[in-house]
Amino acid sequence: MTFQPVVRRSVSEDVYDQIAARVVSGDLPVGGSLPSERDLAAALGVSRPAVREALKRLDGSGLVHIRQGDATTVRDIRREGGLDLLPLLLVAGGQLDLSVARSVIEARAQIAPIVAGLAAERIADADVQPLRTSVDEIATVTDPLQLQVLALQFWDQIVDGAQSVVYRLMFNSLRSAYEPALPALSMAMAGEVGKVDAYRDLVDAVAAHDPDAARRAADDLLTPSTTELLRVFDSVDETQGGHDGH
């Protein structure tokens, strides 16, 4: 029998999640004012310090704008938000937002070859063997979900090799958005994460410090699953009546 660890959440986290969900869904319109701290605390049944802490997080995430002595207003997250909002946008109201998922997959397909090329230029020789070890581990696994977890670990090492703080932060945000959707995407991704030879080609290119070959290998690795996922998203969109405009 497997037990899951109990996650203790603070009241302010729950307040943050509830307000954030309403901003993302549009229930709280851009430019609109939030109730006062006192009114929010009363409506939510929590203390004012908990509300104040949640509002500071919402302000830091680009969801609201706090003006001292004035009302707290909802920001236009499409123009002012950061990558840290991707997890909220990807799974909104408990459902996968296909337009956001499409954006994540497209960004992944564009960025990964660039990062692979940088890793080929900059990786230390001592850091190549851990990449080979990761691929060897991938070769021993057949479960689609576990393969995706190992693939994320592999790409984490590639990003380290690229030695770019910007791409590291971008990868962190994309991974945070992507991980909650792993179970839903596991079958569509199976063709990629099980391509052991393609991973080995990428590692060989990185080890040879050949950026062009690394970019081609990364593109070859990701293209089939990218194409399949976009096909699936388009198919679901047609079933649901078209794109939602994100």
Instruction: Locate the domains of the chain by residue range.
Output: 11-81, 86-242
Structure tokens of 162? Answer: 């690229």
d(CA 169, CA 161): 14
Residue 175: phi and psi, rounded to 5, are -65, -40
Percentage of the chain beyond pLDDT 90 is 51
Per-chain mean pLDDT for the chain: 86
Banded model confidence at residue 246, pLDDT cuts 50, 70, 90: very low
| Mean pLDDT (whole number) for 193-204 | 92
Which parts of the chain are beta strand (E)? 64-65, 73-74, 91-92, 95-96
- Measured CA to CA, the distance from residue 103 to residue 80 in angstroms comes to 17
- Say yes or no to pLDDT of 188 above 50: yes
Average pLDDT over residues 88-116: 85
The 3 state secondary structure assigned to 172-183 is HHHHHHHHHHHH
pTM of the model: 0.75
pLDDT of residue 178: 76
> Of 68 and 7, which is predicted with more confidence?
68
| Residue 8 scores a pLDDT above 70 | no
Candidate from 29-33, 97-101, 109-113, 213-217 with smallest mean pLDDT = 97-101
**Residue whose token pair is 């791409």:** 167
What was the pLDDT predicted at 4?
46
The pLDDT, as a whole number, for residue 197 is: 94
Distance of alpha carbon 150 from the chain centroid:
16
Helix, strand, coil % (nearest 5) of the chain? 70, 5, 25
Q: Does domain 86-242 have CATH number 1.20.1250.20?
A: no
Is the pLDDT score of 220 beyond 80? yes
How do 95-96 and 91-92 pair as beta strands?
Answer: antiparallel
Strands (E), 6-98: 64-65, 73-74, 91-92, 95-96
Please tell me if the domain spanning 11-81 has the same topology as the one spanning 86-242: no
pLDDT digits (tens, 9 = 90+) for 129-140: 999 999 999 999
Give the residue, 100 or 47, on which the prediction is more confident: 47
Q: Where is average pLDDT lowest: 21-35, 64-78, 87-101, 146-160?
A: 87-101
pLDDT for 9 equals 66
Q: Which pLDDT belongs to residue 207?
A: 97
Strand partners, 33: 73
Q: Which fold has domain 11-81?
A: Arc Repressor Mutant, subunit A (1.10.10)
Which residue has tokens 């992944």?
108
**How far is it, in rounded angstroms, from Cα 65 to Cα 78?**
14
